[in-house]
Every structure is written in structure tokens, then in C-alpha cells.
Chain A
Amino acid sequence: MTDRNPKDDRSRKRDTSPLTAHRGMATWGEKLVPLAEFRKATAAVGRELSPEEREAEVAEFLGPPVDPTPVEGPFSKVAVFGGVYNNHYGLTALLDDAEARGVEAIYCLGDLGGFGPNPNKIWPLLERGGVRTIQGNYEESLASGLEDCNCGYTDPRDNHFAEISYRYTASHSSPEFKRWMGGLPKRRRIRVGERELLLVHGSPRRINEFLFHSTSPAPFLEVLLTQERADGFLCTHTGLPWHRRLPSGATVVNVGVIGRPANDGRTEVRYCLLEDRDGRLGVESVELGYDHRALAAEMRREKLPEKFVETVLTGWWTTCLEILPAKERHASRF
């Protein structure tokens, strides 16, 4: 873009007094040039397409990917959950609760490990319940032997605890379990009543994308669904459940997680019930109680961080908080 030699610019003296330096002048990189010269240069570059060309560009940019995922169903009532985080007490409670509610199928959106104790207890429970599971970033990382959970955190404070969780789960999961994780699909499609819904871990486009309620605007979700040619999608990954009905009539649900509470001061965890109600899609976020004291005791026996145990016992997150957007952080105790 620039063929300036930086040395040339450094030798060029300029008035560095901030109050006078730019009067009538523009900064072009490290040079000062007359404003008119800068504006003339910017006017001369960049594309200015015709209205028809712009339509064509947008159509190509938003073009849908080819998705050969088969559609399962149709169902009239299903349970969808995510983020087990090794909480076998929560998973046991979920299987009982979903069965009692008469669901036709149970889906898991991934992240079986992390946070809690004894990961190998999860696999037999999933088999027992006939749970149809997709890969989360945890399964993807464990199956491919990565040294990192690829959770997508950016703050060192979040990554510190994410590393503790991942190291524990990686060293306590059997090779057979990890191999099984590697064979899981990354997405599924289901039909509930008339609606075709996409099931993903993070988002339709990335396994570790965080979709929080306050940072997943309706127009953005509409574009994702248009690209996927679906009537809605369900995801997890963030740990916080929400549900948004879009102006088009489509539905997006973050089902939350059953591995730790929803950062609301309650010890219950959340999962989602989908039900066809005479052509309308019913979405219910179910509060699920489980033996959280037994989970806390087992976590202490496994010497997992006391901060994790505190979350289980109080319902407030104590770790991995920096990823929260402003609104969700405002509602958070810590």
C-alpha cells in the first residue's frame, strides 16, 4: 500500500505542538499533507459499484453453504441440553426429568467435560439415555489431542481456570471415550412439527462462538438462519440460557448448560424442551434441580478448585467471567 521509506519520514521535521500541528493539514501515515491532498487521494481509491453490482455482491457474500446434514424426526416433543461439564448428577436428573415429560428424543449439544469431576461417568449415562450428541469444542479438542480446550476465551484470568478444567478432564478421560467423541457429528438437523431446526454447539458457523443474549442481535441471527435455510437453531457454549423469536418468525435458543448454574444465584441448571403446539413451536427453559451438594463433595474429593465448588453451591459464577458482555456481567455477582 505504501512505498514510503520510513527513514525518509523520520528525517522530516514537523511541528509537534498538538494545538497547531494539524491546522489545515491531514495525517497521511506519518506525513503531514494539506487536507485537500488527503481528501483527493481518498476520493480516488476504493470501489463505487452500481446498485445492481452491489446487489450481486451482497447476494454472493450471503450465499448459503451446502449443508448435507440429514433431518431427523419429525418429533412433537424433544429435550435439548448442553454443557454437561462432567456433572453426572445433573445428567442423571435430566434423563429422569425428560423421560417423565414424555419426550421422543434427547439431544446433547456438546461440552461433556470440564469443571466437574470424573468424566468417564458421563459416557454410560449418555448411552443409557439414548442421547443423540454433537461435538462441542471440548470433544473436538480431546479427540484430536489438543493441549487447549479451544473455548475461545481471550482474558488470561478466564484462560487460567479453563486450563485447570481441561487438564483435569483430559487426564481423567479414557482413550476409548475420547475416540468416541471424535466420531460425533458437528451438527444435526431436526424437525419439530413443521419447523426444521439446526442444532450446533457455539453457532452455525463456529464451534466456539459465544452467542450471548445481549450480543446476538436479531438481524445477525436472521442472516445466519437465511444462510442455513432453517426455521431456527439451538446452541449452548456460553452457559447462559436465552430465547429470541425473530421478526421473521424464526426461533433461536441458547439451551444453557446442565453442568453449572446459570449465574443467577440459584443452584438449579437449565435445559430446553421443544414442543409442537398445533403448528406453533413451544420453547420452555426447564429449571432442573439435582444433588448439587453431592457434586460439590465429589469435586472437593477430586481437589478441583474451591472456586468451582462455590459456584455449584451458590449459583453464582466465580470464574470465566471476563468473556461476559456488559449486560450479562452487570447481572453477575462477581
Chain B
Amino acid sequence: MSEMTVSHSSTGSKRVPVVELRSLDTLWFQVAGTVCNLACTHCFVSSSPTNHTHENLTLAEIAPFLEEGARLGVKEYYFTGGEPFLNPEMEAILEATLGYGPATVLTNGLLLDPVRCERLAGLAAESDYSLDFRVSMDGYDAESNDPIRGEGTFERILAGIRNLCAAGINPVITVTEVHCENASREGRERFFRLVGELGIDKPRLKILPVFRMGAEAERSGAYESWQKLRAGEAPAEGWLHLQCSACRMVTDQGVWVCPILVNEPEGKMGTTLADTLGGFPLEHPACWTCHAHGVSCRT
């Protein structure tokens, strides 16, 4: 099935492209819900200290998904929020997950004190599987970063990275294209220099485009009406280049198609992973971003 007919009460029915799940490689957890100690102006899920659209996931809630994921052949587990380390069970959740496979945490770096970093390094060393960290920043200095992530955050992010580094953990620096030069060759070189100055001799960097939804829609404008995928326009190899052909996202309210659409109720596909093994209609304009920019949220 590469297309399906979808009915809307207001606009009638139309044909839309559908992506199939070819394998469940990447299982995401919205582990801290949408609660964050920051309120970045580009956050596509508008996370903030008071956003309880999604709540924390407990270890007890996550455990059955780890079991079900293993049966379905999940290859890697990712944790995001909000800020994952606001979840009081985060380290226990990581320890449990590393019994099943590799884990990656997407963090803003503000809660990475030296003692926690030592504990995380211990978890990483004890596991057969990789434990990886992505630390977000949006500029190579306070002037470019702080207007997006908040006053004083640049220095606090650097402190978190230093603490990870001192514990022997080399995080992936994740940067969004909020400033167009971030993804340029010169921009990348600046980030390499910056992390080099922190004592990291193997700089790792991931650059992501922005999704024009949530807070970002207020910052730079929402999607235009032409920014959507249409039936009949599938590439020759189908839609299998999209990350939703190989991932699902668990939140406190069920299983969503991907990490991007958690604030769209219609991105929810079911209650258990088994409910969500079917195709998904690529109707949201964010699906266009994934297609046009070749986005994968995984590292």
C-alpha cells in the first residue's frame, strides 16, 4: 500500500502517500515528556518547565516496551524529552535498557554534573552495548546560542560537556540550522574548534534542520501550504528513506509514529508496538521536511 484515502470532516476525502514500517530498528522514548528546564525558541514540541502535554515515563512503563521491542528486533533505543535527566528514574532506565541494546540520550547538558557523569561513564563501561549522549547547542558562542536556548545557557552547556569529557564520555554535539551558517563548512569548523578547546580531541557533530512547528512556528513562521508530500510523488524506491519506515516513539499516552509528531494526536498509532506495525499516512507538513532534508533524528 503506497497510498490511502483519508477523510476529513472539513475538507472531504483525498489520496495521501503512506509509508510502511519495513523494520523496527529505532525505538524512541519521550522519557521526560514535554517538560524541560529550558524553553528554546525553536523547540518543535514547545517543551518548557510547564508543558505537561506529555509526562515522564516511569521505568515500570518502559519495561514492557523493552520486552516487546526485543521480540520485534529493535536495534537501538533513544531517549528524549523535554530534558531526559529531569526524569528521576533516568539512570535506572538506562541501566535497564542497556540489557537489551545500545542507548542514546538527547540532552541539553544542563544537568550533567561531575558526579552524574561519573555514574553514566560507569554504566557505559559495564555494558556490552554503546551508551551515547547528544548535547544540544545552537551557536558557537553565547551571542548566537543564548537567544535560542536561554540567557546564560551557553556557559552551562559547555560546563556539562566538560564534565562528560572529564568522565571519559565523548558526546555528539547536536546543532540545528537556526542560523544558516551552522551547517556550512565554516560553521562546522567553528564547532570543531570550540569542542577542541574543551579538550575533546575526537569532535563529533550532528546537524539537524528545524521543523516549522511548535515554538519554531512562532519564531520563524509555520509551514506553507505547498510544503507537504503528495500521492503519486513517491520516489522510485518508495518512502523507505524516511525514518518512520524504521522507528516508533513511545510516550506516556501511547505509541507515536516518530519523534517529531508527538504533539499531533493523529501521530499516535496505538497502545502497544504490535498495534503500530502498519503503514502511516504522510500528511503532516513536517513529513515534507524529513523527505526534503533527508532527516534522521538518530545519530
Contacts and interface: CB of A to CB of B under 8 A. Distances in A.
Interface of A: 1-3, 5-7, 9-10, 14, 16, 18-23, 26-30, 35, 38-39, 41-49, 54-55, 57-58, 60-62, 154-156, 205, 212-217, 219-220, 222-224, 321-322, 325-330, 332, 334
Given A23-B50, A332-B202, A28 B265 contact: yes
Interface of B: 8, 10-11, 21, 23-24, 34, 39, 45-46, 48-53, 69-76, 100-102, 124, 128-133, 168-170, 188, 201-202, 204-205, 213-214, 217-218, 221-225, 253-255, 261, 263-272, 274-278, 281, 283-284, 296
Contacts of A39: 253
A46 B225 CA distance: 26
B253 A61 contact: no
Of A22, A212, A222, A332, the most chain B CB neighbours within 10 A belong to A22
Contacts, number: 196
A231 B132 CA distance: 31
Contacts of B214: 27, 29-30
A10 B74 contact: no
Given A30-B217, A47-B269, 13 more contacts: A1-B266, A3-B11, A6-B223, A21-B50, A38-B53, A42-B268, A45-B265, A58-B71, A61-B24, A213-B128, A217-B100, A217-B102, A219-B69
Contact of B10 (A3, A45, A54, A216): A3
Given A61-B72, A214-B102, A220-B74, A27 B51 contact: yes
B266 A45 contact: yes
Given A18-B39, A30-B218, A48 B271 contact: yes
A30 B269 contact: no
A58 B274 contact: yes
A49 B129 CA distance: 33
Question: Chain B: interface secondary structure?
Answer: loop
Contact of B266 (A2, A47, A62): A2
Given A26-B52, A30-B222, A215-B129, A2 B72 contact: no
Contact of A322 (B51, B204, B255): B204
Of A16, A44, A60, A212, the most chain B CB neighbours within 10 A belong to A16
Contacts of B74: 217, 219-220
Contacts of B254: 42, 46
A62 B68 CA distance: 13
A217 B75 contact: yes
B253 A326 contact: no
B129 A214 contact: yes
A267 to B, nearest CB: 22
A3 B266 CA distance: 11
A157 B116 CA distance: 32
B175 to A, nearest CB: 13
B238 to A, nearest CB: 15
A49 B202 CA distance: 47
B222 A6 contact: yes
B53 A47 contact: no
